[in-house]
Amino acid sequence: MGDLVRTLIPYEEFDYQVLLGALKEYAHPRDRITTLLRKGAIIRVKKGLYIFGDDARKQPFSREILANLIYGPSYISLEYALQYYGMIPERVESVTSVTVGRSRKFSTPVGQFTYRMIPMAAFRTGVDQVTTGDGRSFLIAVPEKALVDKLRSDRLSVQSQKGLQAWLFDDLRIEPAVIREMDSRRLEDYAGRYRSRKIHLLNRLVRRLGQHGGVNAHA
């Protein structure tokens, strides 16, 4: 594909405008893009978004960065974020995010990306910016927000702390120590933004575990 294009595009993930800029010396850049795609030198993740193919790749591409770019505004949350923080033991194949747009699912050559709609009030808080090794960054929910988004998205009908504990410790297999160390102030804020009784219940559980250190007290 030529070293020039690879030199002009330093990152593994890039959009159509960046690609056109790198091909500006060609008389017919769009034809060149078609050739690059056919040869597998570049891979179209979705319309207007690309990564380099295996032979041209300098380092692994970031699915987290792609998740932010595929559909937005969005940030990573839910199951993928819980796995990212080591809170749940299962490997999560789909990169899960939240958005204020419509809920969507994208099946791409590099995996599945899902987006769950949440209210704007809840979307505007609980986000961290993680910087990658090459100086770029992606947006991901903080642990408390990822868990809250998961609690809401699962549409559980829990009525007590006992039922909530079963979901946390048996279904998700989160360690009690992880719940005990959560920030109650954050949870209180999210409960208000979501107007959620279940999140208030989670917050009370976190405070009780923090005070007593156990998981078997009555709700």
DSSP the chain: --HHHHHH--SSEEEHHHHHHHTTTSS-HHHHHHHHHHHTSEEEEETTEEEE-GGG-SS---HHHHHHHHSSSEEE-HHHHHHHTT-SSSPP-SEEEEESS--EEEEETTEEEEEEE--HHHHTSSEEEEE-TTS-EEEEE-HHHHHHHHHHHTT----SHHHHHIIIIIIS---HHHHHTS-HHHHHHHHHHHT-HHHHHHHHHHHHHHHH--S-S--
pLDDT given for residue 207 in this prediction: 94
Question: Is the pLDDT assigned to residue 3 strictly greater than 70?
Answer: no
Q: Are residues 76 and 116 in the same domain?
A: yes
Same domain (yes/no): 100, 167: no
Which of 2-11, 34-43, 85-94 is the least confident region? 2-11
Residue 117, pLDDT > 90, answer yes
Asked whether residue 4 carries a pLDDT value surpassing 70, the answer given is yes
For residue 214, pLDDT over 90 is answered with: no
**141 and 151 co-located in one domain:** no
94 & 126 share domain: yes
- The total domain count for the chain is 3
User: What per-residue confidence (pLDDT) applies to 168?
Assistant: 97
| Model pLDDT, residue 56 | 92
Same domain, 151 and 208: yes
Residue 74 and residue 137 share a domain: yes
36 pLDDT more than 70: yes
Q: What's the whole-model pTM score?
A: 0.91
Looking at the structure, tell me whether residues 172 and 187 fall in a common domain. Answer: yes
Average pLDDT over every residue of 125-146: 95
Position 201 pLDDT exceeds 70: yes
Looking at the structure, tell me whether residues 47 and 70 fall in a common domain: no
The stretch 83-108 carries a mean pLDDT of 97
Averaged pLDDT, 41-61: 95
Q: Which domain holds residue 29?
A: 3-56
| pLDDT over 60 at 2, yes or no | no
Say if residue 218's pLDDT is above 50: no
> How does the average pLDDT of the chain come out, rounded?
93
**176 & 190 share domain:** yes
